[in-house]
Structures are given as structure tokens and as C-alpha cells.
Structure 1
Amino acid sequence: MPFLLKTSLFFGLLCFFAINVSAQRKPQPFYKGRYKPVKISRQKAKVVCPVFQDSEYPYQGIGFKLGDPSAITYKFYATKNFALAVDVGRTASGLYSKYYASEFDSYTESDTLIGTQNVEYLNHKVKFDWQGEAKILYHINGDRWIKGIQGYLGAGWQWRRAQIRYEYILELNFNENEILSFERERFATGPVGVVGLEYSYFELPISAFIELEVFSDVFEDPGWIRPQGGVGLRYIF
């Protein structure tokens, strides 16, 4: 009996001690040691408008442009005033249909015809028409008029490569004709000037822009000048 009493007292004291220690310990989350708590500063937690902050440059932007050309566009915002833009895409070849048709005569040689033979343009098809350009831009803040808007102007260089298939009628004599075809590859390059507007006062990190360009060829058809332009969106990071 004394042995049982001593044993009961010993286990009773042990249980009392364990309960007392457990009550003094602070509860720990079940995930401790497995996951790290995520800390978000107030500045990052709130929505920032406009997208561009003077103290956070440089920024980068990537997106798309629709127009002439329709392209993938990348922009590096080095400072609040200077940026570099690179666009790669396809031209709106339908806008150049009359021009490409007018170039048919430059690809035919009338002195190779015999007697009454004659060549007459029938139609053409653009197989591909790629364009790439790089521009340096100067930005002007327009917050005094519209929050988040910037105007910009700049200059750069453009490269264009196209392959065109021409069909034509070869008049052999009074009552005999043939429909023939040939392909020509064109490479044009030259300076490009640009003016535009960019708006970035959104809850999302994006900017919208509209721009007008003027391209002047110095290689394939020196002196040929062509207006271009488009609208687009970029994701800013």
C-alpha cells in the first residue's frame, strides 16, 4: 500500500509539472519550420498610380503593337526622359499594294522582247514582309494636362525585307498569250522618325501608346518615304 501511494503521488506531481510548463509556453503555428511568413510593405501592398515612379528607374516594357507594322515591341526606360524601343513584326502589306504593283516595270526588261511581244502586269502576292526597327526616344511629362500621360519623339533605323510573287501576261503575238510569274526579294533600310503619346495611369503595370512614324528608304528605292504608325500595350516591370 505505501508503494502504491508513493507511485500515485509521483505520477500526480509529474502530470502537474507537465501541465504547468505547457500552459506557460506560447502557442506556435502548425506550419512553423515549413513555411516562411510573407512580409509585404505598405508601399508594395497598395496600388501605385502612375506606373512610373521617378525613384524606381530603369523600367522595362514588353508587349504588342497593331498597325503598320503589327509587331512585338520592347522598351527600355533608362530614365524618366530617355528610352530605347525595339519593334519586330510584319508590315501591313495591303497598304503597299499599289506601290509593289508600280515596281513591276522595274523588274522587267523590254529590250529582251522579240517583235510584237509585250508584257502586261496581272497581279502580285506578298509572300512575306518583315520589319524591324530600333529607336531612341525622348519623353516629355504631360501630368500638367492629363495624369499619367507622356509625349515622346525620337529617331532610329528601320530594316524591311519582303518577297513578292508577280504574275504577268506575255503577249507572244496577236492571238497567243502566256501567263507567267517570277519572284523578287526586296530589302529596304533607312532612318525613321517618330512622335507619340504614352499613357500609364492604371491600376495594373501596363502602358498604352499611340505613335506616328515616317520612314525613308536609302537602299532599295532611295528617296521613297512612307508614313507608318500604330497603337499598342506594354507590360511594365
Structure 2
Amino acid sequence: MKTIYKASGFIVGLSLIFQFTYAQKLNQGLGLRIGDPVGISYKAYLPGSTAVEFTLGTTSRNRHSAYYKDTFNALDRYDGLRYSDHDVKYTLALQGRYLLHNPFPANVEGRLDWYWGLGGQFRLSKVEYTYFSESTLFANDTKTNIDLGPEGILGVEYEFKDYPIVGFSEVSLLGEIVDKPLRFRFFAAVGVRYAFNSL
């Protein structure tokens, strides 16, 4: 019987701690971003309806095929060669953003915001090209592709009323300054984060 009382007291204690914690404004979130890139997303909410977000991720090997084909055709090292195919071995993507939140004009349970902001994106890819020329039937060459530039973001975020779960959906536009200046690329993602307070 004492064990039952102890277990009940433990469960009640955890419930009270959870309710007390959730009653405060949750100021951080950690979760999964699904899209381009797909990876881990961390968000910190700052005073004044602002936030910062950082993402570490990757992307599908089959994404951006036209982009990498255009890259091959634009590089001096491949002058006189004809593109055949490519294989993206890996992509590492890093994003950092500063965001401004605004309440969405809708009567819903929980918190529903739309947000916009500016940030930067860095992408590192290893690409193996297959090509041919008049003297060579087929040959391979591996290139490291680096992309860097500012990014504009627009999204929607929903925090459940009784659970520390935040879902989001967003689109962004990257303007490259390295390695293809003035090349614009569109990205989109959805995701979910677990919200919590800093200790």
C-alpha cells in the first residue's frame, strides 16, 4: 500500500511540475524540420515578439538537379566537356534567422502566429559529375559546391494550448552571393518542436 501511495505522490508531483512549467511562457523549442533542408531546428523566443532560429540539416540527393547541371555548364573547368549526369554525395545546410512574430487574426485555441524575418543560409555539397568529350567516352570528376547568401522567411506557427508542442510551416527565398551571385532559390518546410523553458 505504501508503494501505491508513493507512486501516486510521484505522479501528482510530476503533474504539478509540468503544469507549473507550462503555465509560464515557454521560451525555447527543439524539434524536427521536414523539407529543404531536413534536420534539427532550435528556436529561442526573445522579448518583444522576436525570435532567433538555427537549423542544421541536409537535403535529398535528388533535389536541385537542374541547379547542379547549370553549375556544371557554367564552370570554366568543364569547358569543352558535355554533361552526362551527376550524383550528390552529401549536402550540409546551416541556417540562422532573426524572426518577428505577429498574432494571426483567427479565434483558435492555443497560440497562432505568422512570422517573417531575415537570415542567412550556408550549404556545402559534394557532387560527382559524369561527362564526356570527343576524346573521352565517359569520365568522372568530384567538386565541392559552396553556397552562401541572405534568406527571407515567411511562415505560420501554432502552439497547442495544453501541450508543449509547436508546429510550423514556412517558405523562404535565398539570394546567393557565393558561388552564383544573384541566383535565387526557393525553399519550403514544415516541422514540429518540443517547447520548454530554459533552466
**Alpha-carbon distance in structure 2 between the residues aligned to 1:204 and 1:69:** 26
After superposition, the C-alpha distances for 1:114-163 in whole angstroms (9 at most, x for unaligned) are xxxx5221100001111101101111122644332111111111111111
Please tell me the residue identity of whatever aligns with 2:124: R
Query: How far does residue 192 in structure 1 lie from its aligned partner after superposition?
Result: 0.7
Number of residue pairs matched by the alignment: 191
> Which residue matches 2:119?
156
Q: 2:65 aligns with which of 97, 101, 104?
A: 97
> Which residue matches 2:157?
198
What are the within-5 Å matches in structure 2 for residues 164-175 of structure 1? 164-172=127-135
When you count strand as a share of all residues, which structure comes out higher? 2
Please tell me the residue identity of whatever aligns with 1:127: K
What are the within-5 Å matches in structure 2 for residues 64-79 of structure 1? 64-79=32-47
Contact 1:119/1:170, CA 8 A, preserved across alignment: yes
Please tell me the residue identity of whatever aligns with 1:209: F
What are the within-5 Å matches in structure 2 for residues 1-237 of structure 1? 40=13, 56-57=24-25, 59-79=27-47, 81-105=49-73, 106-110=75-79, 119-142=81-104, 144-147=106-109, 148-172=111-135, 177-237=136-196
Contact 1:57/1:78, CA 8 A, preserved across alignment: no
Structure 2: gaps spanning 5 or more residues: none
Contact 1:156/1:192, CA 8 A, preserved across alignment: yes
C-alpha spacing 1:131/1:42, structure 2 compared with 1 (3 Å): closer
**Alpha-carbon distance in structure 1 between the residues aligned to 2:89 and 2:32:** 22
C-alpha spacing 1:59/1:109, structure 2 compared with 1 (3 Å): closer
CA RMSD of aligned residues (A): 2.9
Deviates more, 1:177-186 or 1:68-77: 177-186
Please tell me the residue identity of whatever aligns with 2:178: F
**Alpha-carbon distance in structure 2 between the residues aligned to 1:129 and 1:65:** 15
TM-score (norm 2): 0.83
Query: How far does residue 204 in structure 1 lie from its aligned partner after superposition?
Result: 2.4
C-alpha spacing 1:42/1:167, structure 2 compared with 1 (3 Å): closer
C-alpha spacing 1:200/1:58, structure 2 compared with 1 (3 Å): closer
Looking at both structures, which has the greater relative contact order when contacts are Cα pairs under 8 Å and sequence separation is at least 6?
Answer: 2
Structure 1: gaps spanning 5 or more residues: 1-28, 111-117
Contact 2:169/2:191, CA 8 A, preserved across alignment: yes
Contact 1:163/1:183, CA 8 A, preserved across alignment: yes
Q: Percent identity?
A: 25
**Alpha-carbon distance in structure 1 between the residues aligned to 2:39 and 2:178:** 23
C-alpha spacing 1:109/1:65, structure 2 compared with 1 (3 Å): closer
**Alpha-carbon distance in structure 2 between the residues aligned to 1:41 and 1:93:** 44
